[in-house]
Amino acid sequence: MFSTLLLASICAVSPFANQDRLPLELVPVRVVDSIDYAKMFEGDIDREKNGMPLRFALPTTVSITPATHGIWERLQDTKMRWTFRVICDNALSMNLGFGNYNMPQSGSMRIMDETSTIQIRPFTSDDNKDHGELWTPIIPSNQAVIEIIVDKADKRFVSKSIELTSINAGYRGFRNNEGRGSSESCNVDVVCPQGDAWWDEIPSVGVYTLNGFATCSGAMINNTAQDQTPYFLTANHCGVTSNSDSSIVVYWNHQNSYCRVPGSGDSGGNGNGSYSQFTSGSTMRATRSYTDFTLTELSSSPNASWGITYSGWTRSSSTSGVGAGIHHPETAEKRISIPDYSSASGEYWNVNWGDGRTAPGSSGSPLYDSYHRIVGQLCCGSSYCPNDLNDYYGRSISLSWSGSASSSLNSWLDPTGSNVAYLDTYNPASAPVGACCIPAAGVCLDFREAVCISGGGIYQGDNTECATTDCQLYVGACCIEATQACVVVSETNCTAGGGIYQGNDTSCVDIDCFAPSCPSDINGDNTTDVSDILALVGAWGSNDVNADVNGDGVVNVADLLILIDAWGPC
């Protein structure tokens, strides 16, 4: 039952969602053209021959806003609801592209099927991005219903700030329960024994849609700061550009729940993976047709609870033996393929498979060496279950490492300038934390090492705790002459502000930054002479701080003796 596979994406329904809802037949609708399946499949053959990414949907360009289409209803508590629906009579799925999306804080938008059984989690103001677009995951139905609930005061704003610009009717892959994206039977589920050693890397791989009609695979990739910047590596020929990057929708953890026996009808049929975990939007960072790579930065990081990892990489010219390919053939559940061999061949890795193969939709997926580090991404090839032909992966990590930031990887994957030759996979769930002293803020926080260092902190070691850490060891008194002030900061911040650092663990209470350098010079003319004696005699017996040269609280003979001993210029 496909509806059960999307339960994770069905959030608590708004109290207004079903209130006095109009019968569906009264909701205004836009019907797009029926799909000519024969024509689309014929075109797909040509697309594959020309090295184009797998197409799964037919897009229709529209301009639909809450001001021009749909119907508004008044709800309780000053709320308003706008509803509209789209239909393609013979589609297997629907997804939508909003060329303009700017939701006020009071608003939320849901996309659902005609029965409201399957709903995408609500889109809110948190989904407003700099690129101003929003592209949705698929709804496994030939109909999609759009519902926006907003404060009455924001109705006019929503009418101008939300525009549906693309209706995409699916005809393959991402299907409904009767024929949802399957792949060839020889392929191997990642939950099979072949994947047991790869569970740090498997969660990093995702299947994605682009412009609402094309699909490829790709992987989250680590950088030397190890700060979980959401860099996503895929293939150049998949079409992620500065014009299309905002339309990407990446699906995570789409995999079968059990190991289907390779070669069986079960393995070649429909899996039970969910499309409920997704990330929408990105900004393309670097791309190059040579080695066929694209690196894009997702508009938001995947939800931490999904357990997404960041694959390591290597610039080596060898795959160091047998590694693996992890991918989504035909948009189906995630699979793992094990090579018989892989070797460098010009700008590509030449790969022949032992267990499993690849298929359209696998493009852009990572090839790993025997140390579980990415060496490239799938470009092309002819492998299918019935044959033993080779695939080719772009050698992007080694051959497209250096150069301009827009066409190479080092600016993004090595922000620390370390020039390391390789980096291992980063798994946030297993990374240890420790006490992090942040001198600039004068606080201690429990962080992972990379996060601590990137924030200017001093990491105290794995599994240390702030409760038993004295961060005052990293700050001290700072005398700032320009403002005649003393503050407790780190040495770096003190000197950067023109101050004189008094040492770690010193205090302004114990240090007089601006005590006179010549205490016997009572009148401040830089000379100890008769005028100072006269000033001292005039204060005799008192506690005048200026004349009390030795600071014992009284002006007396002891002060006079110090003054005589210091006679002359300071």
Q: Kindly report, residue by residue over 224-263, the tens digit of the pLDDT.
A: 999 999 999 999 999 999 999 999 999 999 999 999 999 9
Distance between CA 449 and CA 564 in Å, rounded?
59
Distance between CA 123 and CA 529 in Å, rounded?
81
Mark the ranges of the chain whose per-residue pLDDT is less than 50: 1-17, 176-180
Two tokens, residue 412: 């993004």
Query: Which of 349, 302, 295, 358 lies closest to 328 in space, CA to CA?
Result: 358
β-strands 214-220, 54-55 pairing: antiparallel
Query: Which of 418, 401, 379 lies closest to 316 in space, CA to CA?
Result: 401
Q: Which residues contact 384 (CB under 8 A, 6 or more apart)?
A: 184, 357, 359
Amino acid found at 422: Y
Distance between CA 90 and CA 87 in Å, rounded?
9
The active-site residue out of 237, 254, 327, 328 is 237
Which backbone phi and psi does 374 adopt, to 5 degrees?
-65, 135
Which backbone phi and psi does 66 adopt, to 5 degrees?
-65, -10
Q: Do 179 and 326 meet the contact criterion of CB atoms below 8 Å apart? A: no
Kind plus residue range of the DSSP H or E element containing 335 = strand 335-345
Q: Do 351 and 393 meet the contact criterion of CB atoms below 8 Å apart? A: yes
Q: What CATH architecture does domain 193-423 belong to?
A: Beta Barrel (2.40)
Q: Do 181 and 330 meet the contact criterion of CB atoms below 8 Å apart? A: yes
Tell me which CATH homologous superfamily contains domain 2-170: Spermadhesin, CUB domain (2.60.120.290)
The residue assigned the tokens 């229709």 is: 60
The active-site residue out of 363, 365, 400, 490 is 363
Query: Which of 246, 271, 13 lies closest to 134 in space, CA to CA?
Result: 246
Q: Which residues contact 38 (CB under 8 A, 6 or more apart)?
A: none
The 10s digit of each residue's pLDDT in 314-373 is 999 999 888 999 999 999 999 999 999 999 999 999 999 999 999 999 999 999 999 999
Specify the 3-state DSSP secondary structure of 163: strand
| Cross-sheet strand order for the sheet of 162-170 | 57-64, 162-170, 93-101, 134-135
Task: Name the CA radius of gyration of the chain, rounded.
Answer: 33
Angle between helices 530-538 and 557-565 (to 10 degrees): 170
DSSP conformational letter for 88: -
Distance between CA 265 and CA 185 in Å, rounded?
7
Q: Do 487 and 500 meet the contact criterion of CB atoms below 8 Å apart? A: no
Q: Do 423 and 313 meet the contact criterion of CB atoms below 8 Å apart? A: yes
165: left (phi over 0), alpha (psi -120 to 50) or beta: alpha
Distance between CA 80 and CA 20 in Å, rounded?
12
Give how far the C-alpha of residue 173 lies from the chain's centroid of Cα atoms, to the nearest Å.
Answer: 26
Active site residue 237: yes
Kind plus residue range of the DSSP H or E element containing 39 = helix 37-49
Specify the 3-state DSSP secondary structure of 472: helix
- What is the end-to-end Cα distance of the chain in Å, rounded? 92
Instruction: Give the chain's length.
Output: 570
Kind plus residue range of the DSSP H or E element containing 37 = helix 37-49
Q: Computed from CA positions of residues 155, 158, 160, 165, in that sequence, does the dihedral angle turn out positive or negative?
A: negative
Q: Which residues contact 198 (CB under 8 A, 6 or more apart)?
A: 190, 324, 326, 336, 368, 372
pLDDT at residue 19, rounded to an integer: 56
Q: Do 17 and 110 meet the contact criterion of CB atoms below 8 Å apart? A: yes
Two tokens, residue 155: 């109705």
Active site residue 363: yes
Cα distances from 332 to residues 184, 267, 301, 325, 355, in angstroms, run 10, 11, 23, 15, 17
Query: Which of 295, 547, 560, 257 lies closest to 412 in space, CA to CA?
Result: 295
Cα distances from 58 to residues 49, 90, 168, 212, in angstroms, run 19, 12, 5, 8
For Cα atoms 148, 273, 386, give the angle at the middle one, nearest 5 degrees.
130
Distance between CA 376 and CA 172 in Å, rounded?
28
The active-site residue out of 292, 391, 521, 548 is 292
Cβ-in-10-Å burial (0-12, 13-18, 19+) of 63 comes to exposed
Distance between CA 418 and CA 71 in Å, rounded?
57
> Hey, where are the domains in the chain?
2-170, 193-423, 433-466, 475-515, 527-569
- Cα dihedral 233, 239, 240, 246, rounded to 10, equals -140
